[in-house]
Amino acid sequence: MLEAVRTRARPYFEAASPAHDWHHVERVETLAETLVDRHPKSASVDDRVVILAVLLHDIGRQREDRGEIDDHATWGATEAGRILEEVGTDAGTIERVQHCVRAHRYSNAIEPETLEAKLVSDADNLDALGAVGIGRVFAYGGELGQPIYDPDVPVVDDESAAGRAQYNHLHKKILDLPERMYTDAGRALADDRVGFVREYIERFEREITGEQ
């Protein structure tokens, strides 16, 4: 079933943004596997639900980026249900996967209610941290035509939700991600990755002021 869903999911990412392409899905899958492995064995995890949700969590992202839908997580959950039903998935699994997809989005008000949804959310957020996360910020910001840094829009005066410059986005969203982790394993990896982001920001600030 996993390979059937993988085959069905991949075409949704053709010509996708580098920040949300199939490579992102593969990285999140690897991170999810790591989190499952590091989670206490006393807690039962349905790793099949986790991986199915990871494969399907961003299938609506391109449609949202094109302005065709408002929320890729909500649309993606519905589409994921259709895909899973077509490959013969049982109703209980479909429902659990759909919840994971709905709850993974950073800006959604939907809280993960299951361990599987928490693991998917943590894995997805971890890919937005560290060296890879920084790369994704600048790749996506470039697509949106945002400046790397704008001295006329300091972070303290930037009232936008995501930041009007990529440097601002690091402050307004990325540095907050460790606080959004739901699992101990996720928090441990997030603490390490966010440390790298802070080091990068410090170096960035020294360079834009000509100190280094």
Domain shared by 94 and 134, yes or no: no
Across the chain, what does the average pLDDT equal? 93
Q: How confident is the model at residue 42 (pLDDT cuts 50, 70, 90)?
A: low
Q: What CATH number should be reported for the domain holding residue 142?
A: 1.20.58.1910
pLDDT value at position 109? 78
Q: Looking at 78, 110, 142, which one is the last position of a domain? A: 110
Q: Closest Cα to residue 171, out of 184, 188, 154?
A: 154
- Tokens 């079933």 label which residue? 1
101 and 132, same structural domain?
A: no
What is the spatial distance between Cα 116 and Cα 190, in angstroms, rounded to a whole number? Answer: 18
Domain end call among 110, 144, 176: 110
Q: Is residue 123 part of a domain?
A: no
What digits encode the pLDDT tens for the residues 69-92? 889 999 999 999 999 999 999 999
> Does residue 17 lie in a domain region?
yes
Q: Are 100 and 134 found together in one domain?
A: no
- What pLDDT, on the 0 to 100 scale, is given for residue 137? 96
Q: If DSSP states are collapsed to H, E and C, what string results for 128-176?
A: CCHHHHHHHHHHHHHHHCCCCCCCCCCHHHCCCCCCCCHHHHHHHCHHH
Question: Can you give the pLDDT at residue 181?
Answer: 96
Into how many domains does the chain fold?
A: 2
The Cα–Cα gap between 144 and 198 comes to 24
In a shared domain, residues 82 and 143: no
Residue 137 lies in a domain: yes
For the chain, give the percent of residues with pLDDT over 70.
99
Residue 122 lies in a domain: no
94: number of Cβ within 10 Å: 19
Residue 189's nearest CA partner among 122, 139, 99, 101 is 122
Q: What type of residue is 168?
A: N
Q: Report how far apart the first and last C-alpha atoms of the chain are (Å, whole number).
A: 53
Average of per-residue pLDDT across 22-48: 92
pLDDT tens profile 151-173: 999 999 888 888 899 999 999 99
Which domain, by its residues, includes 2? Answer: 1-110
Which pTM was predicted? 0.94
